[in-house]
Amino acid sequence: MSNRDKVLASAVDAIGHTPLVRLDRITASLGLEGTILAKLDYLNPGGSKKDRAARGIIEEAEASGLLKPGQSVVELTSGNMGAPTVYLLLTLGTGLAIICGIRGYPFIAVMSRGNSPERARMMAALGAEVVLVDQLSGSVPGQVSGGDLALVEDKAKEITEARGAFRADQFARDGNWRSHYNGTARELWEQTDGRLDGFVDFAGSGGTFAGVSRALKELNPEAKCFVVEPEGAAVLAGQTVSNPDHPIQGGGYSMPDLAFLKGLQADGYIQVTGDEARQAARMLATKEGIFGGFSSGANLAAAIKVLQGEMKGKTVAMVVCDSGLKYLSTDLWAEL
């Protein structure tokens, strides 16, 4: 019996143990040989796979003594529809707000005034103290620039020092990748009864890929794990950035030195265009009833590519990272 079958003590305990679904209608419609399995992490309490990282970071800090009872937690939760890096920070912030609220840590969400009011209201509704930082002179309301984000970062550092707070940082805290090593990967293995040949993942912080690939290769040394990136921004594959304004939020933002990927050897690097991710996300919704976002579409597009190539006839897993509800105002759905 999984956690999802029991009465849980809190929403924190509902993080993880998400369903795994066969995408047989998609593979059949495309004439593919093999199986694609989708891990529905958009069903986590905060609506994304980042709930796992948030929980992992907090629990690791508790265990190590870095986070004391009642201590404040600080993190940037800025994000706008055109900035993949800060989008990651927004989704992590939702999970942090949930976990900190339940466990009694004051959570301070530092945001730019360039974010929509709905984002600040969401964080406040989850119990966070929201600190809004003015944009640079000349910045466009509703669009958080790199300069705006730098101001938010400075403010977050200031608050962390002034309040003796713990700074959650998904790019540096090992609790991120370990949450997938101990959670996501083990769940995939158990749900497939060990019959899993590969994994594809759109790299953001690198935590999901690092955790799952490490564990999966320990369980099955023959398993193949592929890093997915936007075409024109595939820096992890060693390519020059030619399209920094790609629409696939959550990754591909010119960070070739992701800490969690150091020393890891991917079995391949797959590039996906914005249109491929968009069409795959729409296919996921219409054929399988799974309403995912841009990165989920990128994962599906990549899984299709590997089944058309070296993984033909194999079973490949992917994560549905978050819900398509977050993208209703973008061109992912706006044209429909």
Q: Indicate which residues carry an active-site annotation.
A: 50, 295
Contact indicator for 321, 250 with CB cutoff of 8 Å:
yes
Query: Phi, psi (5° rounding) for residue 271?
Result: -105, 140
CA 265, CA 217: separation in Å to the nearest integer? 11
Closest by Cα among 317, 297, 294 to 307: 317
CA 134, CA 6: separation in Å to the nearest integer? 45
Neighbour tally for 268: CB within 10 Å: 18
Contact indicator for 261, 172 with CB cutoff of 8 Å:
no
Contact indicator for 285, 292 with CB cutoff of 8 Å:
yes
DSSP states along 165-231: -EE--TTT-THHHHHIIIIIHHHHHHHTTT---EEEEE-SSSHHHHHHHHHHHHH-TT-EEEEEEET
